[in-house]
Structure 1
Amino acid sequence: MSNTEAELKLRLADPTCLNTLLNSSLLKELSTQPVYKQLLDTTYYDTPDQRLLKSRLSYRLRLADSHWTATVKADGTSDGGLHQRAEYNMEVANPLPTLMPFMLTDIGARLTAAVGEMPLEPIFRTRFERHILNLTAPDGSKIELALDDGEILAGDKQQKLLELELELKSGQPQALIWLGAALADEFPLLPEQDSKLYRAAMLSGITDGLGQDNPLPSPLKKSSGSQPAQQVLGQMIIYHLHAIIRAQQAYLANPDGIEEVHEFRIAFRRLRALVQLAKPLLPNEEYTAWQTKLTAWSYKLAHVRDLDVFSLIWDEITCAVTTTLPQQARKSALTALVADKCQSSRANLYTEIATGQCTPVLLGLWSFIENCPAQAATEPQPTCKKFVLERLTYWLARFLKQGDELDINDLSAAHELRIASKRLRYTVESLAPILPDNTRLLTKRLEQLQNLLGQIQDTAFTPQLLQELVKASASRLTHHDAGLITGWQLAKATAAIESWDTAWAKVKKAAAKAKKLKPLENTDSNKRSPEL
């Protein structure tokens, strides 16, 4: 039997809530029978040189309730923990690996081409107790909830396995996201991007040539411009939600990585910009609530990122001082304080992310966008290209006015302009396929402006942080170091301020070349794009 499997995988961050989850009031409302258990012992097979894995195929034999089942899975995508792949299941009489039962299926020829005459041998196992509930979602979709508690075994290595699988038996995939979001509101859950197969291969050390499940490509094509705006932008918002979930998993794998935090933060900024663009298409109250939640997480990530940047600047300064004045080299009084502050902030962020506190926002927004009804309108829904050009034209006009009126010595105003430049840049980059080619220069100039304003903005972040650090130290040398970094940053900010006129002139020139984003003569169009 073959079918396309669709399941949402969620890692349970706290094993102590397993029983509480299974007995939650939500699941009792949706379940059609009590929880039942199975002990599943599964062995995966491949050729000695992993031909199946390298061909994006897998073969396994599973023992459950005294019955053996052979399963072949093919290809697959993973987006935000939602896994979809072709699956072929055959009941077999014994645990001897053979591809013969699949030869009459449409995967048979591909299996033969991959394996040839090579023997199949065991490569790793999974062994777990599965708690199963059959559920009916409010929209009528049938879902099998399987909570797996056990381990992955690869030679003498093992890894704990504790995950929730929500598998769609019939109905709409959106029901999986709705249920995942509802459960994440109550329990510590994390979207799981990697299949059991991939985690087992990682544990075995045989991932050479084996890729993770591929995320789906961007749904935006040039032809998308003629489609309804709400449909296309909804797809793009979900696409960027998936990017955040991938960035979150990369961060959790390396929480001390500066780049991982940075990419995680940028993924949030890109999503926020896109949601802001779509504001007129969304119910206002719900829009405000979701944007508030996204902003709160962006600030948490921004705080850690700002500390990372501060730490890097301090390292740069101490290195320069040591190189220039080696006779005055000493252990900095500020270094340990900065390191402690960074470590504390990172630990707090990691705890919040690792315990699934961000998951209700990500899955909740995903479910909301999937099920968001089209706004009632007395006129036809605009095409995506028309809507996007009108919104970006409005944003660009406001941005240019904001920059023309800026007092570059006003740090608060400079910060607001930097935020506006990021929003504009990230949105134009995300929607590039339906925009004129001449917007590329504009995004380049916006990025340069963003970096210049960042150097100025660093001087606004530093005083408050230094005040905290100096207060926590009894050493006079800390005051010396605080003065050193303040002077260093002021010097860089002064240089950036001197470059402001040139940088802004380049941005305005690039904006003028983005022909289809020039301010519209029809002011009624701009009125449909309210201030954000």
Structure 2
Amino acid sequence: MTDAQPPTLRRKTQPVVAFAALTQASLARIDTSLQDLLHRDEAEDLHQLRVAVRHARAVLWALGPALPRLERERWKRDLRTLARATSEVRDWDVFLAETVAPARKKAPDDPVLAAMADTAATRRNTARAAMLATLVSYRDGQLPVAQRDLAHLAHLAEKVAARSKAGRRDRLGPFARRRVRRGRKRLRALKRAARGGDPGAVHEQRIAGKRLRYTIEALAPVLPPRYARRLHRKLVRQQTRLGDFVDAMVARRLMRECLDVPELPDDVPPPPPGTS
């Protein structure tokens, strides 16, 4: 599979048809990243895979209500598995590149830093071996199923239309606006919950912000342009700020793991099931 061009969306398009077109593009990017990851060890390849998975999960969140429940739940489960498989390796990559490497550059002869670097690299490589096993299983198992799902889009659309009048009359434009409004409402609630600085709440806010950002990017052609651009800029700024905050806490957790020091209450735990 080669990289797909961004699909052309129309406001009158059925949401299930838009889901198939957008997800086909995401699967192309996922497939390309999988091939790269399985043939070389580059942190950027893993980052690109995670971005492609986030896009696919955002599209599923935005347009999933238009899909039959069984298909929606299978997509959700498979993409969640793929996202979770990559989280630990990405955390170690960022820790090694942004915390350990700068520290060793300033103190290249420090034995504690050298030992921590060795421990981090070992744990990262162990995590990568487990990740690759999961990715191979996805490539050979779930990915062909996903591709067959999209190939039978007409059948899925008929099932949706047959189940309710809303399925026949709904169109992508109003559907997308409703989902963005829902995402904003959810993000506001999470922002209020995170005001006290609880790491778990901040993490949830960050994930919801990413999801809404990628939803807007995917559905931009059918959203009001000025509204979408303004909200997207706001989300990017917020994501950068929260990313720095969470990355610092994750780095502290990983440093404690390397040094075998007990966790503190405000350390960020590993991502819970279903996040990335």
The TM tier, using the shorter chain, reads 0.7 to 0.9
Q: 2:110 aligns with which of 318, 330, 337?
A: 330
Q: 2:24 aligns with which of 232, 238, 244?
A: 238
**Whole-angstrom distance in 2 between the partners of 1:448 and 1:321:** 33
Counterpart contact for 2:194–2:201, Cα < 8 Å: yes
In the other structure, the counterpart of 1:361 is 142
Equivalent AA in structure 1 for residue 47 of structure 2 = H
State the Cα distance separating 1:407 from its structure 2 match.
2.3
**Whole-angstrom distance in 1 between the partners of 2:133 and 2:57:** 23
Q: Provide the identity percentage.
A: 24
In the other structure, the counterpart of 2:178 is 390
Report whether the alignment pairs 1:293 with 2:78.
Answer: yes
- Could you list the runs of 5+ residues in structure 1 that have no partner in the other structure? 1-80, 82-192, 194-214, 323-328, 472-478, 494-532
Report whether the alignment pairs 1:378 with 2:165.
Answer: yes
Report whether the alignment pairs 1:440 with 2:226.
Answer: no
Scaled by the length of structure 2, the TM-score of the pair is: 0.82
RMSD: 2.7
In the other structure, the counterpart of 2:192 is 404
Equivalent AA in structure 2 for residue 343 of structure 1 = N
**Whole-angstrom distance in 1 between the partners of 2:17 and 2:164:** 15
**Whole-angstrom distance in 1 between the partners of 2:43 and 2:4:** 27
Equivalent AA in structure 2 for residue 229 of structure 1 = P
In the other structure, the counterpart of 1:267 is 52
Equivalent AA in structure 2 for residue 362 of structure 1 = L
Give the paired residue count.
256
Assess, with a 3 A threshold, how the Cα gap between structure 1 residues 338 and 216 changes in structure 2: closer, same or farther.
closer
Equivalent AA in structure 2 for residue 364 of structure 1 = V
Q: 2:37 aligns with which of 251, 257, 265?
A: 251
Counterpart contact for 1:225–1:383, Cα < 8 Å: yes
Greater Cα radius of gyration, structure 1 or 2: 1
In the other structure, the counterpart of 1:318 is 104
State the Cα distance separating 1:220 from its structure 2 match.
2.0
State the Cα distance separating 1:398 from its structure 2 match.
2.0
State the Cα distance separating 1:264 from its structure 2 match.
0.7
Scaled by the length of structure 1, the TM-score of the pair is: 0.45
In the other structure, the counterpart of 1:417 is 205
Structure with greater strand percent: 1
Report whether the alignment pairs 1:345 with 2:127.
Answer: yes
Structure with greater helix percent: 2
In the other structure, the counterpart of 2:245 is 456
Equivalent AA in structure 1 for residue 165 of structure 2 = T
Equivalent AA in structure 2 for residue 414 of structure 1 = V
In the other structure, the counterpart of 2:272 is none
**Whole-angstrom distance in 2 between the partners of 1:469 and 1:426:** 34
In the other structure, the counterpart of 1:149 is none
**Whole-angstrom distance in 2 between the partners of 1:405 and 1:470:** 32
- Could you list the runs of 5+ residues in structure 2 that have no partner in the other structure? 269-276
**Whole-angstrom distance in 1 between the partners of 2:134 and 2:83:** 13
